[in-house]
Amino acid sequence: MTDLKPVARQALALMDLTSLNDDDDSARIQALCRRADTPAGHPAALCLYPAFIEDAQRELDAIGLTRRVRIATVTNFPDGAPNAERAARETRLAVAAGADEVDIVFPYRALLDGAPDVGRLLVEACRDACGGATLKVILETGELKDPALIRQAADIAIAAGADFIKTSTGKVAVNATLEAAEIMLETIRDSGRDVGFKAAGGIRTTEDAKAYLDLAARIMGEAWISPAHFRFGASGLLDALLATLEGDEAKAPGDGY
């Protein structure tokens, strides 16, 4: 039997521990921050709505994780509207509020309608709005479906200045899949650019995490895999990883993201 503890330890450090629920409040975000302080280490980032950035900053400071755990947020989310001005404004406000990383939703419906320039202009505008913050572009691969369209969206996002390309919002029927991840990782490799990859939605177990890590190692090489290049967007995955590290393979709670 494969020892999954090294995988769990690696995956934990690559997590964007996420809470993007309609009923989130300050207390839930404070609890999310405390969950990040585990005996096995801490995730790379927390991902939450812009309204809770200040709450997260305050709580991370209180538990001694400021600057060790980054704060990520979402804009143009989850709809992926084609309005570049709106998306850039939301992004600029998020960075001003203290976000270290911004996950924006690519206007995938415009691409489905045959208008690729809409996505290019939106990502370029958000790149400018981000300044020095990390820009992750959510392609919503489960809605694009067609491998050629996933590749096209990835190419557009990378050329327009994305620091990461990300599979999904976690808010649609089909989120991260290994098939979409393979296309995205190959696009990153072929671009020759220093761009990262984030898998989000439906990654619930240590075995799930291992499958994505193995795929990334095959395409990009093991040395490429670090928080600077690879992230998991998830909530319930943390419990599964900690259970693995404790030797308890009991089923972890469901992961809505």
pLDDT of 248 reads 54
**Which whole number is the average pLDDT over 6-24?**
98
pLDDT of 2 reads 75
Sketch out the chain's domains with CATH numbers.
4-246 (3.20.20.70)
The Cα–Cα gap between 238 and 248 comes to 13
The Cα–Cα gap between 188 and 210 comes to 20
For a pLDDT cut of 70, what percent of the chain falls above it?
96
pLDDT of 12 reads 98
What are the tens digits of pLDDT across the range 139-168? Answer: 999 999 999 999 999 999 999 999 999 999
Helices 116-130, 84-97: axis angle to 10 degrees equals 20
The H or E element spanning position 101 is strand 101-105
What are the tens digits of pLDDT across the range 173-198? Answer: 999 999 999 999 999 999 999 999 99
**Which whole number is the average pLDDT over 6-21?**
98
Q: Are 106 and 159 in contact (CB under 8 A)?
A: no
What are the tens digits of pLDDT across the range 49-98? Answer: 999 999 999 999 999 999 999 999 999 999 999 999 999 999 999 999 99
Q: How confident is the model at residue 247 (pLDDT cuts 50, 70, 90)?
A: confident
Q: Catalytic residue numbers?
A: 103, 166, 198
The Cα–Cα gap between 90 and 92 comes to 6
